[in-house]
Amino acid sequence: MVDRLMGIGRREERGFEEAAPSLTMKMLEDAFAKREATVMPAAAFLAGRCQPEAPELQGKLTALLDKFLKSLPVDNLDIMAASYIEAAMSLALRGEPDEARIALIPLITNYASSTTRSYLAAFYLAQLGDPSGYAVMLEALRDPNEHTRLMAVRHLIGFKPYDGRTVQGKVVDIRVELVQSLKDQLSYVRVEVPNLLAEAGVDGLEEILLPVANNDTDPDVRQASRDIIEALP
């Protein structure tokens, strides 16, 4: 994320031996001031996941996040959606979970007209103890856009603590949804599901994955399934 904040390419492309630059308050302040869509999500993410050496900067970071969130029109976030959501979660991590929930709730209560990143808002709310975005996550799992489906599959595990609970008329069922994603039309999505099933601790993995390992049309999906089966006790 520091690399992204600095506009530096992926570290594996430039060599892992080159250390990432050290994060400074000035780097964050500059990013929040410029609000460039390419680096703001990283700045917003990092602002909640760092510990300044100077104690007085703790409050300064919280104020920076709060000001940023209040300056954006939540009903029309457009390219700043990811930055807004990351800033809200960072505000929670800086000790303001109630303010974070207030910021995130609109993104799951008006999903159709808010943002394709609503799955991320639902994921963060679930981590904050509020599973009310489950319907939004289900919408994202069925979205026509394959990247949205992929990201929803990756973030579905945030609802694991609520498995079996009824949320606004829908029963949270991680197993059913992940198994359904094994049938996604694109291997781009399917290839990640075997590992996510294992991560979620779903029962009956061999029974679920053996047909995939033998019959999926994509060799990478078949291999991903075999890898999980072979790792089972």
If one compares 112 and 59, the residue with the highest pLDDT of the two is 59
If one compares 179 and 7, the residue with the highest pLDDT of the two is 179
Percent of the chain exceeding pLDDT 90 equals: 82
**Which band of pLDDT confidence, cut at 50, 70 and 90, is reported for residue 7?**
confident
Mean pLDDT value across residues 82-109: 96
As given in the structure block, the two tokens for residue 79 are 């390219």
**Torsion sign (Cα): 109, 146, 200, 98:** negative
Give the C-alpha separation, 17 to 42, whole Å.
22
Cα atoms in the 13 Å half-sphere on the side-chain side of 72: 26
137 in helix, strand or coil?
helix
Query: Does the pLDDT of residue 112 top 80, yes or no?
Result: no
Q: Where are the domains of the chain?
A: 1-115, 130-233
Is the CB of residue 135 less than 8 Å from the CB of residue 126?
Answer: no
Is the CB of residue 154 less than 8 Å from the CB of residue 192?
Answer: yes
Tens of pLDDT along 219-230? 999 999 999 999
Q: What is the biggest distance separating any 2 CA atoms in the chain, rounded to whole angstroms?
A: 59
Model pLDDT, residue 18: 66
Model pLDDT, residue 11: 58
**DSSP letter string over 93-157?**
HTT-HHHHHHHHHHHHHTGGGS-TTHHHHHHHHHHTT--TTHHHHHHHHT-SSHHHHHHHHHHGG
Tens of pLDDT along 8-32? 766 556 555 666 778 999 999 999 9
Cβ count near 172 (within 10 Å):
21
Model pLDDT, residue 121: 96
DSSP assignment, residue 163? T
Mean pLDDT value across residues 152-177: 96
Give the C-alpha separation, 109 to 125, whole Å.
12
Tens of pLDDT along 118-163? 999 999 999 999 999 999 999 999 999 999 999 999 999 999 999 9
Model pLDDT, residue 21: 76
Burial 53-84 (b: 16+ CB within 10 A, else e): eeeeeeeebbebbbebbeebebeebeebbbbb
Is the CB of residue 216 less than 8 Å from the CB of residue 226?
Answer: no
User: CA 152, 94, 4, 53: dihedral to nearest 10 degrees?
Assistant: -150
Model pLDDT, residue 113: 42
Model pLDDT, residue 8: 76
Mean pLDDT value across residues 191-198: 98
Query: Does the pLDDT of residue 98 top 60, yes or no?
Result: yes
Tens of pLDDT along 29-71? 999 999 999 999 999 999 999 999 888 899 999 999 999 999 9
116 in helix, strand or coil?
coil
Is the CB of residue 220 less than 8 Å from the CB of residue 192?
Answer: no
Question: Which helix (H) or strand (E) covers residue 33, if one does?
Answer: helix 25-34
Model pLDDT, residue 17: 60
Give the fold, CATH level 3, of 130-233.
Leucine-rich Repeat Variant (1.25.10)
Residues comprising the chain, all counted: 233
